Amino acid sequence: MAEMESGKPSRGRPRKLPEFRKRNFVTLRLRDETKAALMRAAEANQRSLSEELEARIETALTIFGGPRTQGLLRALAAEVIRRWGTDDEWLSRWLDRRATIEALKQRLDLEDSPDRLMTELQDVIENCILNSGLQEARALAVRYYRIARQVFPNEDWAGLLCPIIELSREELAIKVSQEDC
């Protein structure tokens, strides 16, 4: 029987060396209700508890994109949970589903703000100048200007873009009208 450094015999089967392991060990503490829910899910998915935990962790780390996308999706899920708890029955009720979808759309609209778009536009166009040159950046700025003006019509997009692409407001207006033709 293998002995630990303390001189006491170790319990259970000896651990494999790291190069021979398929998986690593992790100790986890759970509340009874959480463990019971995971056990039910594991049984429904025909997996062991360890396999269920591993599958859920892998999914959480990979399925929903990067950290920003995951944060947005968590915020949307939190809105659904705030309205309905963990009950999925709202999906079966047309009026509840429509109301929830509208609430989620409003939440997504909060993610779009003129300040956020201005910062993003400035970064994209400055990168385009560095990577592709001023002419390409001007063409890109005109396309973005037209879209941004439609989404947030009360913002001074020309005031933001003109200094970056080295055009006057009049020159930008001419370029926009040329693309409209």
Model pLDDT for residues 124-134, shown as the tens digit of each residue:
888 888 888 88
Please report whether residue 50 resides in a domain.
yes
What is the pLDDT of the chain when averaged over all its residues?
A: 84
Q: Which two tokens stand for residue 14?
A: 């000896």
Clarify whether residues 44 and 85 are in a common domain: no
Q: Do both 97 and 119 map to the same domain?
A: no
Q: If DSSP codes are grouped into helix, strand and coil, which group holds residue 3?
A: strand
- b/e per residue 28-44 (b: at least 16 CB within 10 A): eeeeeeeeeeeeeebee
Domain assignment present for residue 8? The answer is no
> Does residue 147 sit within a domain?
yes
Co-location of 98 and 149 in the same domain: no
Q: If we measure between CA atoms, which residue out of 115, 103, 162 comes closest to residue 134?
A: 162
Do 151 and 172 belong together in one domain? yes
If asked whether residues 71 and 122 sit together in one domain, one would say no
Considering the domain architecture, whether residues 147 and 107 belong to the same structural domain is answered as no
Assigned token pair, 178 = 């040329």
Evaluate whether residue 129 is within a structural domain: yes
Q: How far is CA 93 from CA 57, 98, 103, 129, in A?
A: 31, 9, 15, 51
86 and 128 share one domain: no
- Helices 114-132 and 134-151 meet at what angle, rounded to 10? 160
- Evaluate whether residue 25 is within a structural domain: no
Could you tell me how many residues make up the chain? 181
Report yes or no on 97 lying in a domain: yes
Residue range 114-143: mean pLDDT, rounded: 86
Closest CA to 100 of 82, 118, 119: 82
- Is 2 inside a domain boundary? no
Which has the higher per-residue pLDDT, 117 or 112?
117
Q: What percent of the chain has pLDDT over 70?
A: 93
Task: Give the pLDDT band (50/70/90) at residue 44.
Answer: very high
Q: How many domains does the chain have?
A: 3
Nearest CA-CA partner of 83 in 108, 91, 20? 91
Domain residues for the domain of 124 are 114-180
Domain co-membership, 52 together with 94: no
Query: Which tokens belong to 4?
Result: 């630990």
Helix (H) / strand (E) element for 154: namely none
Q: Is residue 153 part of a domain?
A: yes
- pTM check: above 0.75: no
